[in-house]
Structure 1
Amino acid sequence: MSRLILLAAGGTGGHLFPAEALAAALNRRGFIIDLATDSRAARYAGHFPARQLHVLSADTVRGRSPIALAKTALALGGGFLSALLLLRRVKPAVVVGFGGYPTVPPVFAATVLGVPSLVHEANGVMGRANRLLAGRVKAIATGFPGILDQDPRLAPKAVWTGNPLRPAVLEVAHLPYVPPVAGGPLNLLVFGGSQGARVMSDVVPDGLAALDSDLRARLRVVQQARAEDLDRVQGTYAKAGISAEVAPFFQDLPARMAAAQLVVSRSGASTVAELAALGRPSLLVPLPGAIDQDQAANARALAATGGALPIPQAEFTPERVAREITRLAATPETLTQMADAAKSAGVLDAAERLADLVARLAGGA
């Protein structure tokens, strides 16, 4: 039996992080891992625990014009032909896709060649690339329970595994939530994805500056901001007398999430899974305008447990931020309840559960 598993992940950290966690779990079981990705994600995959990195042509559907569709089709077609040659050469036991168009060529090639395959859907609603592949693969692993229950064609293939977590998250997942005390510091973490989010820089500093002076003095803010926004954000906090550390990127973000008493962030699948694993209360601002509305679905799933408060971006104003922070700071028991509720949705062994599924496919079960 081949011990090689080909993982297909590209585009963003939201796809690479769970793939990396699965790779580590499969390595511990004696499997060999190769990674198929696109040129964009290849730049960030230097530490991925894979024997080899294979860069395949791929593109995302960026518009409905004939030119845009033709460019995407050409890129995916070239990637598919390359993937056919790759699979014939390396002969994987299983091919695992993590969503996004870069995973389409290798997973589709696997289904054509009869290689067992599965896709992992991290979000609370299935994305377009995974929908394209779902009818052809052997199994569909999901990050949230029940997302395919209403689809009689796909429900029999669905296995809820949860979203695999980075080792850095698991290292701090045991740390208990410590709520703020009256008059004591309030640790606030603000971020918006791997590149930061402009809306966080536009809204949060002005909202916090509008708080009363006693509450401003209690704040300990850590905020991710784009490089071009750093001076503006730092200036707003300095003028308001708010203690703040602002940077474009934090290498130790999981540890900072664990230290936070409240998180304000986007609601990507990895972020929501990490908030649940850590048990940290959050204000979630889903990315608007996405065709699949995946971040809105993720935020709703965590909110349904009581662990998060979703705020549509149209309603995410400095006034709303000031109102919610004031309310939560005055009722630390609410923060504790949210933390406990978020923790109840955490799946710490998701990588092992997904590895179980891959191993069953590799063994022919």
Structure 2
Amino acid sequence: MSGMQSIMLAAGGTGGHLFPAFALAEELKRRGVAVDLMTDMRGDRYGGGFPARTVYQVPSATLASRAAGDVAKTMLTLARGTGVAFRMLGQAKPHAVIGFGGYPTYPPLVAARLRAIPTAIHEQNAVLGRANKLLAKGVTAIATSFDRTKFLDGRLAEKSVLTGNPVRKAVLEAAALGFLPPLSDSPIRILIFGGSQGARFFSDVVPLALFALSDMLRARLRVVQQAREEDIERVRDAYSEAGIKAEIASFFTDLPARMADAHLVIGRAGASTVAELTVIGRPSILVPLPHALDNDQLNNARRLEEAGGAWCFEQRTLSPERLADELERLLKAPDSLAAAAKAAKNTGRPDAVRNLADFALALAEGRRPGGNRTQ
């Protein structure tokens, strides 16, 4: 590949879509490929650190509801964004455009198709998202993170390639640490995190569940938990009253290292979380974010549970009492934790970023991944 080769990445302004795009951009730059980013206005907060030659911003909108007014407003904004993206692609002249999901990828991918530029989408979840579902028929190729992706069948499956979901460099470094189950009477390290939308539920339920454990188990616990700023003090007080050693914060910059240090992780089931858990190889209790329109987290969690690497519980069924019963059982069975860690590791794809870069370069060269010409 010459240094003149260029690829445009299209990703919405949320971390779940931008993180895999970020990882791919790093790998493509390492290979001497010019990378640009096209994003919505929220992407500005990431623009300074994204490894792109240029960050282009296009108007976009996410469908808030199916009300006629909301649909019309969203469609008008996307149409305007497509026009802006069409002009920007004429300036940038990329050899391929790859989208990472979310409605902000719709204008760049549609505009690329109008300019006859090879296109692809990357699906991070085990279910095809709404925006990707709209785009899937028109793109040249599709990259997936799971070996089975809901709504991806027939002709769509024929142009799909399993690459995995790229993870950060820090995750790959943490993956070098093997899992060692807790020894009898030794500390048991539990990590709890759930993102801004999920931390409140865990702050309400997990301290009560751990308080209900036997005295012997509670004395061995070493807890690290993410909580919202307004919940930190009450969560810390709850653990103090239970006699449990705990570190509570609203954010951990070294989360991959803490994940590698844990004997058990309790969290949501976003695509990035599942990818990191499997690459590092750690057992987890996953509580998918409820009410998601695509049920993406539920599908992600169930796939990992089917592989033996996690235990999935829907939030509506998970009381503190039930969680306490599950924890009492698991924490007294280090062999079960070790088996789940191994199963999670076996499903991980640490080579995902290399796979996706190969996929992207094949697309830019006019080949379908696998060697056949697309042009």
Under TM normalisation by the shorter chain, which class is it? over 0.9
Alpha-carbon distance in 2 for matches of 1:73, 1:296: 29
Alpha-carbon distance in 1 for matches of 2:169, 2:343: 23
Residue type of the partner of 1:55? Q
Assess if the C-alpha contact under 8 Å between 2:121 and 2:132 holds in 1. Answer: yes
In structure 1, the residue matched to 2:371 is none
Moved more, 267-276 or 229-238: 229-238
TM-score (norm 1): 0.97
Assess if the C-alpha contact under 8 Å between 2:8 and 2:37 holds in 1. Answer: yes
Assess if the C-alpha contact under 8 Å between 1:148 and 1:158 holds in 2. Answer: no
1:47 aligned counterpart, secondary structure: coil
In structure 1, the residue matched to 2:337 is 335
- Cα 1:107–1:194, aligned 2, differ >3 Å: closer, same or farther? farther
Residue type of the partner of 1:94? A
In structure 2, the residue matched to 1:300 is 302
Alpha-carbon distance in 2 for matches of 1:211, 1:148: 38
TM-score (norm 2): 0.95
Residue type of the partner of 2:345? K
In structure 1, the residue matched to 2:322 is 320
2:46 aligned counterpart, secondary structure: coil
Alpha-carbon distance in 1 for matches of 2:57, 2:78: 13
Alignment equivalent of 2:364, drawn from 344, 359, 362: 362
Alignment equivalent of 1:227, drawn from 208, 226, 229: 229
- Cα 1:316–1:46, aligned 2, differ >3 Å: closer, same or farther? farther
Alpha-carbon distance in 1 for matches of 2:47, 2:186: 41
Alpha-carbon distance in 2 for matches of 1:99, 1:188: 32
Residue type of the partner of 1:116? P
Residue type of the partner of 1:113? R
Aligned structure 1 segments of 4 or more residues deviating by more than 3 angstroms: none
Alpha-carbon distance in 2 for matches of 1:160, 1:263: 26
Assess if the C-alpha contact under 8 Å between 1:15 and 1:99 holds in 2. Answer: yes
C-alpha distance after superposition, 1:67-126 (max 9, x if no partner): 211221122122111100110010011101000111111011111110011000010010
Alpha-carbon distance in 1 for matches of 2:236, 2:46: 28
Assess if the C-alpha contact under 8 Å between 1:225 and 1:247 holds in 2. Answer: yes
Assess if the C-alpha contact under 8 Å between 2:278 and 2:344 holds in 1. Answer: yes
C-alpha distance after superposition, 1:5-45 (max 9, x if no partner): 11111132111111111111111111111111112232134
Alignment equivalent of 2:255, drawn from 253, 262, 279: 253
Alignment equivalent of 1:214, drawn from 210, 213, 216: 216
Alpha-carbon distance in 2 for matches of 1:6, 1:262: 39
Assess if the C-alpha contact under 8 Å between 1:225 and 1:248 holds in 2. Answer: yes
Alpha-carbon distance in 2 for matches of 1:59, 1:6: 20
2:155 aligned counterpart, secondary structure: coil
What is the CA distance between 1:194 and its match in structure 2? 5.4
In structure 1, the residue matched to 2:97 is 95
In structure 2, the residue matched to 1:117 is 119
Q: Does 1:286 align with 2:281?
A: no
Alpha-carbon distance in 1 for matches of 2:199, 2:131: 25
* Identity over aligned pairs, percent: 55
Query: Between Structure 1 and Structure 2, how many residues are aligned?
Result: 365
Alpha-carbon distance in 2 for matches of 1:296, 1:156: 25
Task: Mark the runs of 5 or more structure 2 residues left unpaired by the alignment.
Answer: 368-375
- Cα 1:79–1:227, aligned 2, differ >3 Å: closer, same or farther? same
Task: Mark the runs of 5 or more structure 1 residues left unpaired by the alignment.
Answer: none
Q: Does 1:62 align with 2:64?
A: yes
Residue type of the partner of 1:8? A
Alignment equivalent of 2:24, drawn from 22, 25, 38: 22
What is the CA distance between 1:150 and its match in structure 2? 6.4
Alignment equivalent of 1:37, drawn from 27, 36, 39: 39
1:204 aligned counterpart, secondary structure: helix
In structure 2, the residue matched to 1:274 is 276
In structure 1, the residue matched to 2:195 is 193
Assess if the C-alpha contact under 8 Å between 1:187 and 1:220 holds in 2. Answer: yes
Alignment equivalent of 2:166, drawn from 160, 164, 169: 164
